Structure 1
């Protein structure tokens, strides 16, 4: 299954990001804590070049906390400050401005030495759809200004938002990239809801999710779907059939697939992280 989604407003947004970079001091790059690498847009490195960047690992409440801590260290080893937050519940949000000042400490020192008056940090908030950008804006500003929605594609334009005297934010629409070179990335994004369900086959995504949980969190599948010992070792297709049957859906596997996908998205199988630091470090070593 190949998943592609690159609406016209995303192409336009990519151009606008490039044009607006000169107006900001720093970029806040939001990633989903459940997939900190797969939810990064690989085009950003080319777009942002040397622009200072703070990586915000959002939705940390949904992710495996051990993996989240590892990802913070991983990004720091790559030369970026990273901060785990949960914008929905305002956790970690107050640390954003102090951390941004830390990223910009050299610029702030240069401005002070030149006798320039301190001014608000101007930041661009960027990330793929459904990563929580609008929710973060509303938390920072303290009122509902940015439109939110638990689906991709809500934010279509750009807007400046002021956060006290310390920060001015430029919102941007979520930007995916034109083609997923790795089909697994598309499946990960689809499983977490970053791609519209109308563009995917839920049965493929359900099978991918069951495979993943069977590998990393097998006891959760057994507990959630009340599986017997001999059923826990079933391969994903047979497991999906068994879950569908146990839920009383007979042979309606589309309904069974929808159940599994939404159970995973809603955290009914617990906190999880699809991107594993160990696997990423192994890939890095192979490339080296």
Structure 2
């Protein structure tokens, strides 16, 4: 009969190595890797930004990932994507980590997924973002997309959005702004003619800066809301987990957790937004 005491006496170092490897392997199996933003990329509140004061990523994406990992019985770790100067490129860079199996999951728009890419897209949307157009309060409303041809907008618009409008024969003219706040303030002072952004973000920033009498929502309908889904690669374990992820996302909506999370991270962003700016 094998006696482990003999192994301990003869090869104590070997035994410790074997035990350490076993423990490390078990720990690694309990980790779930999520692709996150890049600390040097622009902040995309309330969904993701980097806190240069306390260190670490913040936002809706991170908190959702942590909750999913816990409910799946894992610990979340975050894999940093390559630098990107706009949200579309950041999604592409995050997907690249999932494709190369350097991350297990990320949140993305289906437009960045094509057949044969080796991805599994979730069935339940995590986010449904309604895009709206805001105008200075003294400007007449616009009723057709073609009206944007002769107007200058605040530039927080991604290349994909510009390409979308080109399909309707509209070439957007934009004035660059470095942040959501700058876009809103440029609009309130009539330095730009309109600002296209998320309705959720706009409502909170307008209230934060007390600009209810300076800007207004246009009645222009930009179409359906953008929907974002969890995505993973085709590894056996991740494919199995995606079914559970879909069920969890559905339950988060039913319990109100998604709405709670959006409001709580927006509140945190407004309170600590200066920490998203890297000191020179």
- Structure with the bigger percentage of strand: 2
Q: Which has the larger radius of gyration?
A: 2
- Mark yes or no: TM-score above 0.5: no
- Structure with the bigger percentage of helix: 1
**Higher RCO (CA 8 Å, separation ≥ 6 residues):** 2
The alignment's TM-score, normalised by the length of structure 1, stands at: 0.25
